[in-house]
Amino acid sequence: MNSPAPNRQSLNNEQYFIRNIRQTDLDEIYSIEKRAYKKGWSYGIFQQSLTSNRGFILIRRDTDNIIGYGISQVIVDEFHILNICIHPDYQHQGLGKGLLYFLLDKAREFSCKDVFLEVRASNLIAIQLYLDAGFNEVGVRKNYYPSEKGREDACQMCLSLF
């Protein structure tokens, strides 16, 4: 049985704001991706995401530095979270959770019924974040992610909003 959808939650911190990704943000976003993941998205995937996906960045107000991003896509009545990443220097401060809940609010704005995502099977911290937000594990994608040792499975997760 699905858990109830989480309530609206913001970052509750006036140091940060969220805006849409722009072309001029790509170099900084790609730099964060390379620092956060050994085998992450390519620069080309980020370029493609500007035209076919909805991307948002988390910015620190006092420096204007990008410290995280979330990229999603709406397909009919489904909301797909494709990438959430927080700069390693800012992790474990609740910013990833804030960005996740921001994306869930966007899913509701688009009247999406379900939210889907994949997460590395080894990323236990992210899996716990998603479980705490009400996601359920619905499957496994074998050998989905590239890794240092070849390929790694992805845990498929879903949250029903209605």
Positions annotated as catalytic residues are 118, 130
Q: Are strands 136-147 and 114-120 parallel, antiparallel or unpaired?
A: unpaired
d(CA 135, CA 93): 21
Backbone dihedral region of 37: left (phi > 0), alpha (psi from -120 to 50 degrees) or beta? beta
Backbone dihedral region of 60: left (phi > 0), alpha (psi from -120 to 50 degrees) or beta? beta
